[in-house]
Structure formats: C-alpha cells, structure tokens
Chains A and B, each alone.
Chain A
Amino acid sequence: MRINTNIVKRQVTNWILRLFLILTSFIFLYPFVWNLLSSFKTNTEYLTDPYSLPAGLNFENYINAVKKANMASYFLNSIYVVVLATIILLVFVVPISYCLARYRFFGSKVILNIYMACIFLQATYIMIPLFLELQAVNGLDNRTMLALVYAVMQFPFAIFTLRGFISALPTDYEEAARIDGGSNFKILLNVIIPLCKPGIATITMLTAMGFWNEYPLALVIMTDDTKKTLPIGLANLFEVQKYATDWGALFAGLILVLIPTAGIYLIGQRQLLLGISLGGLKG
C-alpha cells in the first residue's frame, strides 16, 4: 500500500516535470516550426495571415533563396572557411600545446600567461586594426585570410585547453617511444595525437561551431557578395528582403541553413556535449 502511494507520487511528479519540460521545449522549438511553415507560404499568404497553415507545399521560396539570394555560395564559403580554419588551428596548436605541457624553455611561462590573458580578446574589439592590416596586405574579401584570422583568434583558447589536457596525460608512452628511438616529431604524431583525440575533438567541435557562426569579423572583412559567409549572407538577405518584400525567401534561406546545422548537431551531439563538459570554455 505504501509502495503504491510512493509510485503514484512519483508518477505525479514525473508528469509535472514532463509538463514543464514539454512547455519549455515548445518555447525552444516554436520559432523554428513557425519559420518552417512560413517558408512554404507565398508573400500574400504570409502578409495576410501569418498563422494559418500554408496552402500547399510551395517550394518556390526555396528556389528563390538558392537562385536569387546566393545561398549556395554563402554555404560553400562557410564550409571552406570553417574547414580550413579548423585545420590551420589544429596544425599549429597541437605542437605548441605539447611543448608547453612537457618542456620548460625560455619564455614558456610568459607565452602561457599571454595566451591566458588573450582568451579575453575577442575579434570584435580589434576589428578595425585587423581590417586595416588585412587591407594593407590586400587580404580583405579573402576566404583563406579569414580562415587564418579565425584560427589565430582561437589560439589562446585552444592552447589553453589542449595544454591542460596533455599535462594530464601520463608520460609513460612517450618515454617508451623515446627509448625505441622515436624522434620528437614522431612521438608527437604517433603517441601524443592519438592520446589527445578527445581533447582535439573537443576543440574541433567548439571552435568549428564558433567559426560557423562568427559574425562581427566577417561583417567587416567580407564585403564582396560572392565571398560572404552564411551569417553575413543571411543578415544581408534580411536586409535585401526589406527592399524586395520577399519574406518567403528569407524564411526558406533560414531553413536551408538550419538543416545541415541540425543534421551535424544530431550526429555529433555526443562528442559536442562531452566536449563542452570537458572543455568548459567557449571562445
């Protein structure tokens, strides 16, 4: 009998919790659902009644978003920048993190302190000097340059995190490899990198996410419409919509961007969540 009331009680709390969570989920999801529905509406439909269900599956908005709004090229630009920036970041950051974790050398402490201080330095603060610098070397409107700057802006966070990760690794494997006559370079490649995989994955996920969504720097550096990344392209579409009165294309554009993001998220979710709990810091 007593057990029974306990079970009932638990059931009731469970349902209260569930109700709370479902309501909250609704708040989190509704904007997207509404967006999805609106993306299938014609302009007239949207302007006259934004809440009705769309009259039919009107894909014209999507075609407009791709054709007129340059969505595809924004997309490719973003992918190019994110992939390249992530590669640059890892290529540069893994070796230095290893050195900082394992050796004390001239200036190592200073370097570490500078990088820790630089974690605060967001690209937004220095966008004008960066703009001037890139302009001087003809590096504006240049996706490769943007990727390089992105990578550098994440050096502090990545070095800080990865150095901490490597410091926590046991040195046994390295010693063994060294006795076998492995060079430092080989040890880094064959021992450290495999051991650091979780740390590297964390950094990759977090920084790639940051690159994918970065707005302020790209806003200043990427002005040529054919070179824009998605966040800027979308904001631009939002702007253009004001002149073209094309709401549908805007919503379709948003959905087109959300689909791959959501897809990658669902696949990489586990790694990402793990990464955040491990890394604890976002750039």
Chain B
Amino acid sequence: MAKKPKLFIAVCTLPVIFLTLVFMIFPMFNAIYLSFTDSTALNVGTASRFIGLDNYKYMFQDKSFFQSLQNTIKLMAVVPVLTLFFSLIFAFVLTQSKLREKAFYRTIFFFPSIISLTIVGIVWSSVFNPNKGILNHLLELLNLENLQHAWLGESKTALWCVAAALIWQAAGYYMVMYIASIDGISKEVYEAADVDGARGIQKFFFITIPLLRNVIGITYVLSLSGTINLSFTLSNVMTAGGPNGASSVLLQYMYTQGMRNANFGYAMAIAMFTLAAAVVLSLLSRRLTDRTD
C-alpha cells in the first residue's frame, strides 16, 4: 500500500467527525448533563441547578414512569417475537412455493414498511375506531358483537392495538431480509430434505430456522430497538399514550414530560435510562444468539 496520504485522510474524515461531534456527541453529553439538573423549558443553562441523581430518584417513585416502562416491556416481549415469526413464515412460504404471483405478494407485504409511521398510525386508528372502524364492523358481520370493543379507548386493548400496528408495518421488512438469507441456503439442502420425504413444516423448523439462526439473532436486536423507537410515533399518533396512560411508552412519556410539562431535566433522565436499557438489552440478546452458533 502506498504511503499514507495524511492530508487526504484529514480532508475526508475531519468534517465528518466535526459534524458528528456537533450533532451527536455534544447533544449526547448535554443530555446526560441535563438529566442531572432541574432544567425546565424556561430555565436552562445557568438558570438551572445541578441536583445530582434527584431526577433518577424521582423516576423510580413515579407511577406514570413505571406504567410506561411496563408497557414498553410488554411491547418488547411480544412485538419482536411475533413480527419475526410472521416474517419467517411469509419468507418461507414465498421462497418455497412455486406460485407465479410470488413477487406480487412480496410487494404487498413489504409496502407497509415504506410508508410513514404517521400514516400507519392514522390508518390503524380508523381501523380500531369504535363506530366506524373496520374491526368492529367485521365482528358485527360475524355476529360477534360481544367481542366488540372501543379498542383504543380501553386500557386492556389500547396497547395491543399499537402492537398490532407495529407488527403489521414491520413484518414485511424482516421478511425481505429472510428471503435473501433463505435464497442463500443452497438448493441442495432442501432437495436432500425432499428426498428424505420432509414436509414443508418440517423443512421450516429443521432446516430454515437453524440455518437462519444468526440472521434471526440480528433481526431480533433490530426489532427490539425498533420497538422502543417506533412505538413512540405510533402511540403518539394513535392514542397519545391514553387511556389513562395505558398505552404510553418510555419515549412518549419522555416527550410528555419534556415538551408538554416542560421538564427538560427529568425528560432527559428518562431518555438516558431508556437508551441505556436499549443498549444493554441489545448487547445481551446479541451475545445470547451468538453463543449458540
């Protein structure tokens, strides 16, 4: 390799590093700093006081915070697993079947993942609308009126409506990733299985899933952090965290405290907690899936 072109490297890297410092690293440290102060929208900087861990202490006796933490955990327990499950099934069916219109289904299943989450939220709000929503209408057509709910207005259902929208919009995305990986599995493996008389379901469980383990691990981490981040937008648009906080999630509570109640310091404490949790969880699940290789 040629001598290191120092100037060239400097020109290529320094502006990027500068921008990263300005718009990522500095705000990040500022966020950490703010989380130790009593900053409000009108009292930031010199007007605010350093209060140590008070915000974090308050957080652990704040029932609204716990509620949103609980909701986030519920979503993280359910959404990634179901999303990936559906994605895998779609991917498997689409790669194994010989249907001529395969590409058509793929196009349709993927479509929700490219549209704005705001639209997803609005569209699903109308699906769950108590009087005009498709869901209640379908239940009525099936004579299942007793199953009808005011979906977004009841604490028991609101969070799961958000979960449904999350799964619906992300399933196609991971499906595409799986399709690519399954295409990467050599045909012979499946053909050998055919010779052994394996049925579709067996192939799915004994060939596809084991061979995709690593990809599933990665997508699981992606879906985990996606759930934390995307649930903010959906819950903000669909329910604004309601009813009575039943569908509030961590980042949404952070937004409420920060922008609505104007408690910048407290909001940043919540944000930093969430970020730390997301990183730890991701590293943990990555390690777990790696080990099995």
Annotate A76-113 by CB proximity to B: 1 below 8 A, 0 otherwise. Answer: 00000000000000001101101110110100000100
Interface residues on B, range: 35 or more
User: Residues on A close to B: CB < 8 A?
Assistant: 13-14, 17-18, 20-21, 24-25, 27-32, 34-35, 38, 46-47, 50-51, 92-93, 95-96, 98-100, 102-103, 105, 111, 114-115, 118, 120-122, 124-130, 132-133, 148-149, 152-153, 155-156, 159, 171, 178, 184-185, 209, 212-213, 215-216, 219-220, 230-232, 234-235, 238, 250, 254, 257-258, 261-262, 265-266, 269, 272-273, 276-278, 280-282
Instruction: Determine which of B105, B121, B258 lies in contact with A21 in the assembled complex, contact meaning CB atoms within 8 Å.
Output: B105
Closest to A92 in B: B16
Residue numbers in A under 8 Å from B124 (CB-CB): 31
Give B1 Cβ to nearest chain A Cβ, in Å: 8
B42 at interface by CB-CB < 8 Å = no
Docked complex Cα distance between A14 and B94 (Å): 11
Ordered by A's residue number, 15 sampled pairs between the chains whose C-beta atoms are within 8 Å are A17-B97, A20-B93, A28-B108, A93-B16, A96-B13, A99-B12, A103-B1, A121-B28, A122-B225, A128-B268, A155-B19, A185-B8, A213-B115, A232-B118, A258-B115
Q: A130-B27, A213-B118 are in contact. List 11 more A-B contacts (CB 8 A).
A: A14-B98, A28-B108, A96-B16, A121-B275, A127-B258, A133-B23, A152-B24, A155-B20, A216-B232, A258-B119, A280-B218
Asked if A30 and B24 sit within 8 Å, CB to CB, the answer is no
Annotate B215-233 by CB proximity to A: 1 below 8 A, 0 otherwise. Answer: 0001000100110010011
Instruction: Determine which of B99, B110, B134, B271 lies in contact with A18 in the assembled complex, contact meaning CB atoms within 8 Å.
Output: B99
Docked complex Cα distance between A148 and B15 (Å): 13
Give B86 Cβ to nearest chain A Cβ, in Å: 9
Asked if A24 and B90 sit within 8 Å, CB to CB, the answer is yes
Give A23 Cβ to nearest chain B Cβ, in Å: 11
| CB contact under 8 A between A17 and B93, given known A120-B225, A230-B116 | yes
Closest to A31 in B: B123
B179 at interface by CB-CB < 8 Å = yes
Closest to A266 in B: B107
Q: Lowest 8 CB-CB distances: which A-B pairs, in order?
A: A277-B180, A95-B12, A129-B27, A129-B30, A50-B132, A152-B23, A213-B116, A184-B8
| CB contact under 8 A between A98 and B12, given known A17-B97, A152-B19, A277-B180 | yes
Residue numbers in B under 8 Å from A159 (CB-CB): 16
Asked if B180 and A282 sit within 8 Å, CB to CB, the answer is no
Residue numbers in A under 8 Å from B24 (CB-CB): 118, 121, 126, 152-153, 155-156
| CB contact under 8 A between A17 and B99, given known A30-B134, A216-B232 | yes
Give A210 Cβ to nearest chain B Cβ, in Å: 10
Closest to B28 in A: A126
B65 at interface by CB-CB < 8 Å = no
Annotate B249-279 by CB proximity to A: 1 below 8 A, 0 otherwise. Answer: 0010011001100001001100110110011
Residue numbers in B under 8 Å from A121 (CB-CB): 24, 28, 275
Docked complex Cα distance between A216 and B107 (Å): 27
Give B87 Cβ to nearest chain A Cβ, in Å: 12
| CB contact under 8 A between A153 and B23, given known A213-B117, A277-B177 | yes
Residue numbers in A under 8 Å from B4 (CB-CB): 103, 105
Instruction: Determine which of B12, B111, B279 lies in contact with A262 in the assembled complex, contact meaning CB atoms within 8 Å.
Output: B111
Asked if A125 and B232 sit within 8 Å, CB to CB, the answer is no
B173 at interface by CB-CB < 8 Å = yes
Asked if A184 and B27 sit within 8 Å, CB to CB, the answer is no
Asked if B259 and A212 sit within 8 Å, CB to CB, the answer is no
Docked complex Cα distance between A277 and B178 (Å): 8
Closest to B112 in A: A28
| CB contact under 8 A between A234 and B119, given known A98-B12, A216-B232 | yes
B151 at interface by CB-CB < 8 Å = no
B69 at interface by CB-CB < 8 Å = no
Docked complex Cα distance between A120 and B280 (Å): 11
Docked complex Cα distance between A30 and B25 (Å): 43
Asked if A125 and B274 sit within 8 Å, CB to CB, the answer is yes
Give B20 Cβ to nearest chain A Cβ, in Å: 6
Residue numbers in A under 8 Å from B226 (CB-CB): 282
- Residue from B11, B118, B181, B236 with most neighbouring chain A CB atoms (10 Å): B118
B51 at interface by CB-CB < 8 Å = no
B189 at interface by CB-CB < 8 Å = no
Closest to B257 in A: A128
B114 at interface by CB-CB < 8 Å = yes
B5 at interface by CB-CB < 8 Å = yes
Docked complex Cα distance between A24 and B111 (Å): 13
B168 at interface by CB-CB < 8 Å = yes
Asked if B8 and A122 sit within 8 Å, CB to CB, the answer is no
Asked if A95 and B11 sit within 8 Å, CB to CB, the answer is yes
Annotate B79-109 by CB proximity to A: 1 below 8 A, 0 otherwise. Answer: 0000000000010011001110000011111
Asked if A28 and B116 sit within 8 Å, CB to CB, the answer is no
Asked if B116 and A125 sit within 8 Å, CB to CB, the answer is no
Instruction: Determine which of A155, A277, A280 lies in contact with B179 in the assembled complex, contact meaning CB atoms within 8 Å.
Output: A277
Give B92 Cβ to nearest chain A Cβ, in Å: 11
B127 at interface by CB-CB < 8 Å = yes
Asked if A120 and B275 sit within 8 Å, CB to CB, the answer is yes
Residue numbers in B under 8 Å from A277 (CB-CB): 176-177, 179-181
